């Protein structure tokens, strides 16, 4: 009996230790919640027809004629500026490079005052949630472009598969895209814009090159 008792005791201890070992020690902590962005990401996938129109060098008529809501009041479309060189800048208040780019672009805009060049800046933010912030920003920086909201379809088409901002498009007086670039290069953005506008004007008809 004295031999049997220790064996029973060891068996009981082993049975009690089994469920406490192994799995409890390696249980992974719960995954952290996903990071919440202040603005929804811009999805740049788009129908093949729209992509083909951009690749061919011209904006689709559906984008040219679409009414865009102005930041202050009213609306406009890119088709309103047919016959002019049109600069389109895609930006947002939360975009640091966009903020640095604006003063350089403003200098170029003033240089072409009275010329057949229209400067349009479209924010990719949502007017339902960002109107106060955007209006406050444009008052502080005195952004002199024609300002409007880029709806999702317009933003997708203008961005043409490029998912970052700022982006700039220069559209010739004939509606053909002269140049399209993404990002900001310090102290070079204004020069690039100036040179591209001058190139677009030189290719335009004589009437488009004159002062209005």
107-127 pLDDT, tens digit each? 999 999 999 999 999 999 999
pLDDT classification of 188: cutoffs 50, 70, 90: confident
* Nearest in space to 167 (alpha carbons), one of 192, 144, 149, 184: 184
pLDDT over threshold 60, residue 208: no
Which tokens sit at 177? 């895209």
Q: Is 22 helix (H, G, I), strand (E, B) or coil?
A: coil
Cβ neighbours around 53 below 10 Å, total: 19
pLDDT above 70 as % of the chain: 70
Averaged pLDDT, 86-96: 96
85-111 average pLDDT score: 96
Can the peptide bond before residue 166 be classed as cis, meaning omega within 30 degrees of 0?
Answer: yes
pLDDT band for position 34 (cuts 50, 70, 90): very low
pLDDT band at 56 (very low <50, low <70, confident <90, very high): low
Q: Which domains does the chain show, CATH number per domain?
A: 82-205 (3.40.30.10)
Classify each residue of 60-92 as buried b or exposed e, where b means 16 or more C-beta atoms within 10 Å of its C-beta: beebbebebeebeeeeeebebbeebbbbbbbbb
Distance separating alpha carbons of residues 204 and 33, to the nearest angstrom: 54
E strand map for 112-197? 117-123, 146-149, 167-171, 177-182
């Amino acid at each position: 009996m004295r031999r049997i008792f220790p064996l029973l005791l060891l068996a009981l201890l082993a049975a009690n230790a089994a469920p406490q070992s192994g799995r409890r020690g390696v249980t992974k902590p719960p995954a952290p919640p996903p990071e919440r962005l202040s603005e929804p990401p811009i999805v740049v996938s788009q129908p093949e027809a729209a992509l083909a129109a951009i690749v061919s060098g011209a904006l689709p008529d559906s984008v040219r004629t679409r009414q865009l809501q102005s930041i202050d009041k009213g609306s406009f479309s890119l088709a309103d500026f047919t016959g002019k060189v049109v600069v389109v800048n895609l930006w947002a208040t939360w975009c640091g490079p966009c903020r640095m780019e604006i003063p350089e672009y403003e200098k170029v805009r003033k240089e072409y005052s009275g010329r057949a060049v229209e400067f349009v800046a479209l924010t990719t933010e949502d007017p339902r949630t960002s109107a106060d912030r955007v209006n406050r920003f444009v008052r502080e920086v005195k952004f002199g472009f024609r300002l409007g909201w880029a709806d999702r379809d317009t933003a997708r088409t203008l961005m043409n598969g490029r998912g970052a901002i700022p982006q700039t498009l220069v559209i010739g007086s004939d509606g053909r895209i002269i140049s399209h670039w993404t990002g900001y290069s310090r102290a070079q953005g204004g020069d690039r814009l100036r040179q591209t506008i001058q190139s677009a004007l030189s290719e335009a008809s004589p009437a488009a090159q004159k002062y209005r």
